[in-house]
Structure 1
Amino acid sequence: MNSFKSLLFTALCVFSFSILSAQDEDNLSLNEGTIDNQFEYVIQKSNSFQDFKVVKKTWMYDLKAHTMDSLQAIRKSLVDTQAIVDTQASEISELQGNLSNTKKDLDNTISEKDSMSLFGAQMSKSGYSSLMWAIIGILLILLLFFIYRFKNSNAVTRQAKISLAETEEEFEEHRRIALEREQKVRRQLQDEINKQKNS
């Protein structure tokens, strides 16, 4: 029974292998399929003589023609592909040049956007801002200094006016006293002169 099963299994394997081989041989053709399949067809269908294969001349010519056609198609495809590659390479080169110019323009635009012109010189916005704030700070310090100086000068002027007024009052008082003393002395002198005349 075991030998019958193994014999049956072997027979099925051989049968399926022969069917697959027959299908492969059926798929092979000299006028259709790939070059590899056409060579396989010629090898399988040609007659064997000792270690040699006897191949029909027509098959060889057909195989040569198909091979040449395939090579010609591959060459044409290769030439077309090379033309496309060359075109794309020139387009890539042109696009890289455009990209480089665009980057330069973008850098210039960014530089102009981030800078300001002051007295004809380009300055960065941060430098311009710092300069403006420094000028404002200096002007504010100068304003505070001049306000301080003005207040001091005003206080000194006020004090000088007060002193002048006091001095003028003292002078007027002194002049009044001097005038009174002079008048008193004149009276006394006049009295003495009168006395001298009377005596």
Structure 2
Amino acid sequence: MRLLKTIFLGLALCAGSMLWAQEEEQENSLEGGTIESQFEFLYRKSGNYNAEGRRYEVVRRIQLDKIRDNILDSLNKGRAEARELNATIARQEGTIEDLNGKLENTTNQLADITAEKDSMSLIGMQVSKITYNLVLWTIIGGLLLFLLLFIYKYRRSNVLTQEAKVKLSDVESEYEDHRRKALEREQKISRQLQDEINKYKKGK
């Protein structure tokens, strides 16, 4: 029983080693893998000989053609990827340029809106809110000052009018008193004159 287990274990190890060797052989073949691994495979599969004191490596022509085709395929694939990447970069640069233009336009619009928000229209001109408020409060202050001046002038005129009315009333009273006295003097003189006339007539 122990012998059977040992044989079975030995067969399993041999099968695993063979599978691993096949996989490694496939990985290190000219049919796949990296260019480095293919060169390593070619180097291991090449023969060598010495002639005239020099060492030469012998490579089969079919393997050399295969690795050349693989290298050319890799180069073409790399060039195609480079062209695709350049096209993608060009598209991305176009998109970035377009986005930068839109960003600049949006920034300008935002600056215009901010300036418009921070300014007011005054007599058809756009002025800042500070200037607008300054002009507005100057006008309000001027009107208030004018109103106070008007009230002062009105009250002063009213006082002067009342004083004039009082003086006019006094003058009218004096005039009326003077006219009454003048009328009394005139009547008195008229009576005296009439008395003198009557005396004169009687004396004849």
Question: TM-score, normalised on structure 2?
Answer: 0.76
Q: Distance in 1 between matches of 2:66 and 2:188?
A: 166
Gaps of 5+ in 2: 1-20
Matches within 5 A, 1:59-98: 59-98=63-102
Shift of residue 160 of structure 1? 0.7
Counterpart residue number, 2:45? 45
Runs of 4+ in 1 over 6 A off after TM superposition: none
Q: Distance in 1 between matches of 2:106 and 2:184?
A: 102
Question: Which deviations, in whole Å up to 9, do the C-alpha atoms of 1:7-45 show, x marking residues without a partner?
Answer: xxxxxxxxxxxxxxx9xx755332221111111222233
Q: Which is further off, 25-34 or 132-141?
A: 25-34
Shift of residue 170 of structure 1? 0.7
State the AA in 2 paired with 1:117: S
Shift of residue 115 of structure 1? 2.7
Counterpart residue number, 2:29? 29
Two-structure CA RMSD over aligned residues (Å):
2.4
Matches within 5 A, 1:125-136: 125-136=129-140
Q: Distance in 2 between matches of 1:178 and 1:87?
A: 120
Counterpart residue number, 1:176? 180
1:156 counterpart = 2:178: no
Q: Distance in 2 between matches of 1:118 and 1:77?
A: 63
Gaps of 5+ in 1: 1-21
Q: Distance in 1 between matches of 2:29 and 2:153?
A: 115
Q: Distance in 2 between matches of 1:52 and 1:169?
A: 156
Q: Distance in 2 between matches of 1:194 and 1:37?
A: 175
Q: Distance in 1 between matches of 2:196 and 2:29?
A: 176
Counterpart residue number, 2:112? 108
Question: TM-score, normalised on structure 1?
Answer: 0.78
Question: Which deviations, in whole Å up to 9, do the C-alpha atoms of 1:113-147 show, x marking residues without a partner?
Answer: 33333332222333223222211111111111111
State the AA in 2 paired with 1:46: S
1:191 counterpart = 2:195: yes
Q: Figure out how many residues of one structure are paired with residues of the other and give that number.
A: 178
Q: Distance in 1 between matches of 2:36 and 2:44?
A: 12
